[in-house]
C-alpha cells in the first residue's frame, strides 16, 4: 500500500523499532475502509481509532519524539521502551539462571530489576534529558551490569556501575577435614591448601565464588551470606579503564544506595564528563562516605 509524503513524515517520527507495527496497524484500518493510499488523515484516524484499545498505537507525536535531543538515540531500539518512551540507562544481566550455569550464586535478574526500579524512582531519564544541552549521545546514557557470580559474563568491570554476586567462605574448625582434596581441585585460584587435615584459604587469591564450600562433603569449608561486589567507573573507547572497586562485599540495600549516589553524581554534575572522570574527581572514599 502506498503512503504519501505527509504520512511518511509522520511515520518517521515513530521510534524505528515500532515503525513496522505502526505501519501494519494504519494499513489494516485503511484497508477496512477501502482506502488504497495512506495520507496524513489515515495516520491520524488510525491513531484515534486505536487510542482506547489495549494494543493502542504508540503516540506518533509526543514531546520526546519531537525533541531533537533524542535524534541520535532514535536509531537504536535499546534506548526506548515498548511504548516508545526514552530510557537513558541500560542494565545488562548474565544468563546464569536461564542456562543453569554451574557457577551461579544468585539470579542476576532479581537485582537488575531493582536497579531499574531505583532509576525510575529517581526519574533518571527525565532529569538527564533536562540536564544535557544539545543532542544526547550513547555515551551520555548510564550503563550497568549485574552478574550472578565472579565469572562476570555480563562484563560489569567495564560499566559505569557493575555488580557481581559473591559467596564468601570460611573454614569451620569444628568440622574435621577428611583430606579428600575436592576443594583444592575445585579452586581455580589455587587459594586453598590442605596439610595434616588443616585447611587454609588465601584471602588475597580467593574471589569468593563459593565452589569449594559446595564440594566439601563434611562442611569444613562453609559459605557465608551472599553479598555483592560493587564496581564503578568502568569504560571502553579510546582509553578503556576497568571499573574501580567500591565495595568488595555489600548487601542489596547498600548496592541500591550506591546506585542512588552514583546516579545523583551524574545528574548534579555541572559539566558533561564521563562518569569515570567524576569518580576520579571525587575519589572512592568520598563516594563511600555518602552511602
Are 18 and 6 within 8 A, CB to CB?
Answer: no
d(CA 157, CA 197): 37
Are 236 and 283 within 8 A, CB to CB?
Answer: no
Residue 189: the pLDDT is 96
Give the up-direction half-sphere exposure of residue 217: CA atoms within 13 A in the CB hemisphere. Answer: 5
Q: What is the pTM of this model?
A: 0.76
Residue 67: the pLDDT is 61
- Segment-wise mean pLDDT, segments of 10 residues, the chain, 291 residues: 83 72 83 81 75 48 58 90 91 95 96 97 94 90 97 97 97 94 96 95 96 96 97 94 97 98 94 91 96 93
Residue 168: the pLDDT is 96
Residue 226: the pLDDT is 97
Burial class (CB in 10 A: 0-12, 13-18, 19+), 133: exposed
Are 64 and 70 within 8 A, CB to CB?
Answer: yes
The domains located in the chain, with CATH, are 2-49 (1.10.8.550), 77-166+226-289 (3.30.413.10), 169-206+216-223 (3.30.70)
Amino acid at each position: 500500500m502506498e503512503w504519501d509524503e505527509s504520512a511518511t513524515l509522520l511515520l518517521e517520527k515513530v521510534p524505528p523499532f515500532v515503525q513496522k507495527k505502526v505501519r501494519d496497524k494504519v494499513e489494516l484500518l485503511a484497508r477496512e475502509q477501502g482506502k488504497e493510499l495512506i495520507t496524513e488523515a489515515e495516520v491520524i484516524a488510525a491513531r484515534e481509532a486505536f487510542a482506547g484499545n489495549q494494543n493502542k498505537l504508540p503516540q506518533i507525536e509526543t514531546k520526546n519524539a519531537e525533541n531533537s535531543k533524542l535524534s541520535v538515540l532514535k536509531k537504536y531500539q535499546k534506548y526506548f521502551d515498548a511504548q516508545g518512551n526514552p530510557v537513558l540507562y541500560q542494565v545488562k544481566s548474565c544468563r546464569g539462571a536461564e542456562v543453569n550455569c554451574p557457577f551461579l550464586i544468585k539470579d542476576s535478574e532479581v537485582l537488575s530489576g531493582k536497579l531499574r526500579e531505583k532509576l525510575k524512582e529517581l526519574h533518571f531519564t527525565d532529569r538527564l534529558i533536562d540536564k544535557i544541552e544539545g543532542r544526547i549521545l550513547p555515551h551520555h546514557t548510564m550503563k550497568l551490569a549485574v552478574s550472578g557470580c565472579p565469572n562476570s559474563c555480563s562484563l560489569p568491570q567495564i560499566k559505569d556501575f557493575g555488580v557481581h554476586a559473591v559467596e564468601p567462605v570460611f573454614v569451620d574448625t569444628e568440622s574435621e577435614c577428611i583430606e579428600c582434596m575436592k576443594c583444592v581441585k575445585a579452586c581455580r585460584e589455587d587459594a586453598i591448601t590442605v596439610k595434616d587435615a588443616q585447611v587454609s584459604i588465601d584471602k588475597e587469591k580467593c574471589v569468593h565464588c563459593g565452589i569449594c564450600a559446595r564440594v566439601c562433603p563434611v562442611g569444613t569449608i562453609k559459605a557465608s551470606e551472599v553479598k555483592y561486589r560493587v564496581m564503578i567507573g568502568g569504560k571502553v573507547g579510546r582509553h578503556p579503564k576497568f571499573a574501580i572497586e567500591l565495595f568488595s562485599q555489600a548487601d542489596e540495600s547498600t548496592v541500591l544506595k550506591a546506585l542512588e549516589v552514583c546516579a545523583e553524581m551524574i545528574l548534579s554534575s555541572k559539566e558533561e564528563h564521563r562518569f569515570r572522570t567524576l569518580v576520579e574527581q571525587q575519589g572512592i572514599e568520598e563516594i563511600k562516605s555518602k552511602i
